[in-house]
Amino acid sequence: MQISSLDILRCPYCGGRLELVTSLFHRRDGDEIHDGILGCQCCIFGIVDGIPVMHLGDDSTAARDHVQAGRPDLARRTLFSLADAAQAARFDEIAASTTSTYRDVVDVLGPSFEGGYFLYRFSDPTYIVADAVVRAVAGTVLSGGGRAIDVCGGSGHLTRTLSGLTSEPPVLADLYFSKIWLARRFTSPGCEAVCCDGNSPLPFRRGAFRYAMCTDAFMFIWTKRQLVGELARLIDDGRGDGALLVGHTHNERTWSPSHGQPLSQDGYRDLFETMEPRIFGEAGLFADVVKGGPLDLSRHDSRDAIDADPALTIIASPHPGVFAPHALSHKPAADGAYRVNPLYVAERTGDRVTLRLRFPDDDYEDEYGACREYLPAEIALDASALAALADGRLTTELRGLVERRVILHLPSRYY
């Protein structure tokens, strides 16, 4: 973590400022703190691999004790739950390598981690809607400066979207150390990551951000009222033109897989005490993205349409530019390269290459089959275009396929 991030960090329990305890073990390289102990008035927290661990679960206090004892390697193993010695050694080897990928780490952590579909995340229907909404809302409110935070952001796929929108690095917060470690290393390099619990007060000062979001996780939060209050507190920067986004949260009125504990539209609305939220059914936003835009946030979905939609997007912002139609942006992130979507299998005949859409299994098709609405079943290209792509060049022909998500801009070390 950057030493300057201590300006926005606060203890989740006493609200006090935190200092690096320089009398205890720490490793610092210029402005970057790699490992160490942070102290406030009520307790101490560990920093492991540049990530402050701002809660007091059993693993985090054990990891903090390892840091204090000068063993940050054991702290990281603890936070990754690597109890098996051979697995831990293999993990350390991959973590030390400068050429390892996100997929290598996922492979070492085993099938219980992340599920199997991370590879296809950047073109799944939930992601493409969230990406468009984040670009529209965060792009609008951050155009005059300010900082963004992705709360419960997991392994940082949408933090990556935020990274192109501000000069200051976005902050990614999540309960799971392993996920934000992956984000910092691979998905959204350069983000600041903070390990904390979305069911507790968030460890940041009031007004530290102009944009705060929680996407695809809110239905799993028990203390929903507190979290909305916390997100509103984080964007209370005195200007009053920030935005709060709760993206892809499930709907109490319509069942969906991994349902969580969702609320109805009225239940969600009641969580917002200081701001007036607008609630969208995701189906309308998805249709906007599939037809190539604009993403129309000026719409007012009917109560019936919202009740019938399994997933909702909730936006609260006084900024006049937010609730308007937004052209879709495909501006690539700072880090990464264009590659063929891994859902396609290539077959070459002479100078032509045919790309065929192939799902990894039936479960994927059941859950994400709506991607057929934008991913063509089959597409033929000049082999020279794909050769140019391998050299990092995007021909005019392939540029159109970026909009279809046949060609994706992926992190450099993804798979």
Which residue carries 């979207």 as its tokens? 161
Region binding Zn ion by CB under 5 A among candidate stretches 5-13, 60-68, 211-219, 267-275: 5-13
CB 56 within 8 A of CB 65: no
Give CA 384 to chain center in angstroms: 34
By the 10 Å C-beta count (0-12 exposed, 13-18 middle, 19+ buried), 294 is classed as middle
Which residue carries 């917002």 as its tokens? 272
Q: Does 18 engage in binding with Zn ion (CB under 5 A)?
A: no
Q: Locate 388 and state its tokens.
A: 């140019």
Our CB check for Zn ion shows the closer of 14 and 345 to be 14
How many C-beta atoms surround the C-beta of residue 64 within 10 A? 22
Region binding Zn ion by CB under 5 A among candidate stretches 4-12, 74-82, 186-194, 380-388: 4-12
The Cα 29–Cα 411 span in angstroms is: 25
Region binding Zn ion by CB under 5 A among candidate stretches 14-22, 162-170, 252-260, 354-362: 14-22
Least separation, in Å, of the C-beta of 175 and Zn ion?
A: 18
C-alpha atoms less than 13 angstroms from C-alpha of 366 in its C-beta half-sphere: 5
The Cα 339–Cα 386 span in angstroms is: 9
- Over the window 82 to 121, marking each residue x when it contacts Zn ion by CB under 5 A and - when it does not, the resulting string is ----------------------------------------
Our CB check for Zn ion shows the closer of 42 and 346 to be 42
Our CB check for Zn ion shows the closer of 43 and 388 to be 43
Window 304 to 343, contacts with Zn ion (CB under 5 A): none
For Zn ion, which residue of 14, 89, 345, 387 counts as binding (CB under 5 A)? 14
Region binding Zn ion by CB under 5 A among candidate stretches 13-21, 155-163, 212-220, 282-290: 13-21
The Cα 92–Cα 107 span in angstroms is: 13
Per-position DSSP letters for 209-243, written without gaps between them: -SEEEEES-GGG-S-HHHHHHHHHHHT--SS---E
Closest residue to Zn ion in the complex (CB):
11
Least separation, in Å, of the C-beta of 45 and Zn ion?
A: 9
Contacts of 257 (CB under 8 A, 6+ apart): 367
Least separation, in Å, of the C-beta of 227 and Zn ion?
A: 20
Our CB check for Zn ion shows the closer of 3 and 42 to be 42
Our CB check for Zn ion shows the closer of 13 and 359 to be 13
Q: Does 11 engage in binding with Zn ion (CB under 5 A)?
A: yes
Q: Locate 64 and state its tokens.
A: 């903090």
Contacts of 15 (CB under 8 A, 6+ apart): 201
Q: Does 196 engage in binding with Zn ion (CB under 5 A)?
A: no
How many C-beta atoms surround the C-beta of residue 402 within 10 A? 15
- Over the window 23 to 42, marking each residue x when it contacts Zn ion by CB under 5 A and - when it does not, the resulting string is -----------------x-x
- Over the window 239 to 278, marking each residue x when it contacts Zn ion by CB under 5 A and - when it does not, the resulting string is ----------------------------------------
Binding site for Zn ion (CB under 5 A): 11, 13-14, 16, 40, 42
